Structure 1
Amino acid sequence: MSKKFAFFIHPRSEVQKDMRRVHPLLGIVPDIVYQQVLKRIPVPPFVSGKLSTQDQRLQGELILIPFSAKQMLELPPKKVFSRIEKAVDLAKQRGCELVGLGALTAPLAGGGRLLQKRTDIGITNGNAFTAAMTLLATEKILNQTQKPAHLAIVGASGSTGQCFSELLAHQIKNGSIASVTLIARNEIRLAETENRILKHKPNFHVKLSRSMNDVKQSDVIILLTSSTENLLRSEHLKEGAIVLDDTQPRNTSPDLCKERPDVMILDGGLVETSGVFCSMDIGLPKGHAYACLAETELLALEGHQGHFSIGNPEVEQAKYMIFLAQKYASYGFRLAKFRSFGKRVDRFDSMVDMEANA
């Protein structure tokens, strides 16, 4: 039996633009005013939208945490986490049995670890399905390359990054990748990610790095970081590189396309959910969702009890999400066609069969 769920969101880099999506009148307030008001006044989390299917089998709510992405990362962690806890309390009060952590609420709650003590409601960080969808997107990209590609994973030590890296080694066809460069700040966790890869592909050529400059050698770059900055710049990219930006807030700027017309930047983490209605504009085309939201929806449809993806998801959890996507395919839950800053890209139209990756 399906369960009512909540999914957490917050304004991203352009606060005014995101608040306008909540209500047109909120779009009148300039960004600088929002930054000051949200920092000084303890505005509580509130319901900003609803999600449902036509048959009413799925019922969910979007709960907005009133901090900008910049504030989420710069304010004292205790202050931010306290607001996340209040959002969990609100979800419980409204009858939700499952909560999905969207955007920066996941890393700032330790991937859900800081909420594990909650036994009254289930928590998932959405990273298992995100890793699975990123794998499918990467396969589509690699199918278009003329020779084995040099691949870079930026944010490889994170929750999604580690799961994706292991999935990549576990599932990817031999000969499609020439080398993998893992980039992150934490050297110990980078080494853990390397071990996950070599466990499945001992002959993989893996390089560890803490510098974005080492992206320069890569044909395909996967962005999986938690940052409000445009980390990837023109000087980091080789000619003809393909970038899959799987971050929210995103780590690439539209200006990069103007500076480097030879480079393809793709929007990552997008799932087609044509059977799910959302009352709020979340900045995506109608019938689309981010993979972390789709994970929460799938678990709710399945009636999942308790926590699911906490901390670093396991490969088996990612495969389970693919299984659920197939089970509830009548509502969509398939990899969306590629877009670049919201505009359709037809170059990668050949679809990947999810069943082959289950």
Structure 2
Amino acid sequence: MTGTLRYSDKPEQVAAYLLTVPLTPKALLEGGRRVESIIDRAVTKAVGLGAKTVGLGALTAPATAGGMALRHRTDVGITNGNAFTAAMTFLGAERLLSLCPSNATIALVGASGSVGSCLTQLLARRTAQPLLLVARNEERLRTLQATLPAGRSQITTDMTRVREADLVILLTSATDAVLRSEHLKEGAVVLDDTQPRNTRPELLQERPDIRVVDGGLVSVPGVQRKGFIGLPQGVAYACLAETLLLGLSGQQGHFSLGWPSVEQAEHMLALAARFGHLGFTLAEPHSFGQPVTLEDAPAPLPALGALSGAQA
């Protein structure tokens, strides 16, 4: 156990526990039975602490096929956190579109993944902007495109086409930077929704014309946290917030496994409104862990060394 969470209206009670799985990002991305077994044992530990719902954070979700490898658990509900992540990323994208031309192209890098597929459908339903869906697997991209209205999107496996986009939403799972300066058009806005993040602070030094905004961050002023997750007090990752909301609602059994649906994302937004006295709203903009003002002209970060402790 590496931390605890309590609610401001019931500070005497532990609402949730934070558990750290002893695996590197590389091992999690490689996956396999050993990795799944270690994560499964962490779930067992959570059950022993009294948990009714267990949320998968960061790379523990893709390491278990979005939690599908844990669906055999009947003693606890599992959620991968991706429904609320998709919903909050949509709200973040909506906010950033105000900085873009009215006919802005939106590129989703990692569109066919668990968060990406749900977010793509949300954007297709609720915005009019052209969508460019980018991923490594063309077959999965075609399957996703078939769920959208005809002509609503283009698909590609070529990262260089990201230069066509005014807003780039990064949804990949990798151990290193995926998005680089040569992939971005002049004045592009990037919403980085990755953990561990797939952009580097140096990107803003190389390209002072662009903005990079951290995605999937939720304001939770009513949640008191003890333990380090790479974020300031009052801010949480959407995957963690999803777990808290499901616990507050008395969720029974599994919730989001594999690929979440738009309906699940909308259900999470309804729960966020229901428990709004604790927060659960889109956090103020951050870039590489630092608060930023979107209205200001983009500029390089002050000192790269000063950011090392702020990155998740």
Query: TM-score w.r.t. structure 2 length?
Result: 0.91
Q: Equivalent residue for 1:342?
A: 289
- For residue 137 of structure 1, report the CA deviation from its aligned partner: 0.6
Question: Which residue identity lines up with residue 53 of structure 1 in the other structure?
Answer: Y
Q: How does 1:9-20 map to 2 (within 5 A)?
A: none
- For residue 144 of structure 1, report the CA deviation from its aligned partner: 2.4
Q: Equivalent residue for 1:130?
A: 85
Q: Equivalent residue for 2:266?
A: 319
State the secondary structure of the residue aligned to 2:36: helix
Question: Equivalent of 2:27, from 62, 71, 79?
Answer: 71
Q: Distance in 2 between matches of 1:344 and 1:338?
A: 6
Q: How does 1:16-165 map to 2 (within 5 A)?
A: 47-56=1-10, 59-74=15-30, 77-165=32-120
Question: Which residue identity lines up with residue 252 of structure 1 in the other structure?
Answer: T
Question: Do 1:165 and 1:196's aligned partners in 2 also have CA atoms closer than 8 Å?
Answer: no
User: What's the Cα RMSD here?
Assistant: 1.4
Q: Distance in 2 between matches of 1:282 and 1:216?
A: 33
Question: Do 1:270 and 1:289's aligned partners in 2 also have CA atoms closer than 8 Å?
Answer: yes
State the secondary structure of the residue aligned to 2:87: helix
Q: Distance in 2 between matches of 1:271 and 1:299?
A: 15
* 1:134-173 residue CA offsets vs partner (Å, 9 max, x unmatched): 110111111222331011000101000000000111122x
Question: Equivalent of 1:191, from 123, 128, 142?
Answer: 142
Question: Do 1:272 and 1:287's aligned partners in 2 also have CA atoms closer than 8 Å?
Answer: yes
Q: Distance in 2 between matches of 1:212 and 1:58?
A: 45
Question: Which residue identity lines up with residue 143 of structure 1 in the other structure?
Answer: S
Question: Which residue identity lines up with residue 89 of structure 2 in the other structure?
Answer: T
Question: Equivalent of 2:278, from 308, 331, 341?
Answer: 331
Structure 1 runs, 4 residues or longer, greater than 2 Å off: 54-58
Question: Which residue identity lines up with residue 140 of structure 2 in the other structure?
Answer: R
Question: Do 1:58 and 1:300's aligned partners in 2 also have CA atoms closer than 8 Å?
Answer: no
Residue 180 (1) aligns with residue 131 (2):
yes
Question: Do 2:219 and 2:281's aligned partners in 1 also have CA atoms closer than 8 Å?
Answer: yes
State the secondary structure of the residue aligned to 1:147: coil
Question: Which residue identity lines up with residue 126 of structure 1 in the other structure?
Answer: G
Question: Do 1:228 and 1:251's aligned partners in 2 also have CA atoms closer than 8 Å?
Answer: yes
State the secondary structure of the residue aligned to 2:147: helix
Q: Distance in 2 between matches of 1:328 and 1:236?
A: 40
* 1:10-46 residue CA offsets vs partner (Å, 9 max, x unmatched): xxxxxxxxxxxxxxxxxxxxxxxxxxxxxxxxxxxxx
Q: How does 1:140-289 map to 2 (within 5 A)?
A: 140-172=95-127, 174=128, 177=129, 179-198=130-149, 202-204=150-152, 206-289=153-236
Question: Which residue identity lines up with residue 2 of structure 2 in the other structure?
Answer: S
- For residue 248 of structure 1, report the CA deviation from its aligned partner: 0.1
Residue 310 (1) aligns with residue 261 (2):
no
Q: Distance in 1 between matches of 2:99 and 2:3?
A: 38
- For residue 203 of structure 1, report the CA deviation from its aligned partner: 4.3
Question: Which residue identity lines up with residue 232 of structure 1 in the other structure?
Answer: L
**Structure 1 unpaired stretches of 5+:** 1-46, 350-358
Matched residues, percent identical? 50
Q: Distance in 2 between matches of 1:70 and 1:253?
A: 18
Q: Distance in 1 between matches of 2:143 and 2:89?
A: 20
Query: TM-score w.r.t. structure 1 length?
Result: 0.80
Question: Do 2:100 and 2:167's aligned partners in 1 also have CA atoms closer than 8 Å?
Answer: no
State the secondary structure of the residue aligned to 1:73: helix
- For residue 70 of structure 1, report the CA deviation from its aligned partner: 2.1
Q: Distance in 1 between matches of 2:278 and 2:99?
A: 29
Q: Distance in 1 between matches of 2:15 and 2:218?
A: 18
Q: 1:302 to 1:262 in 2, by over 3 A?
A: same
* 1:47-72 residue CA offsets vs partner (Å, 9 max, x unmatched): 11001112337610011101121232
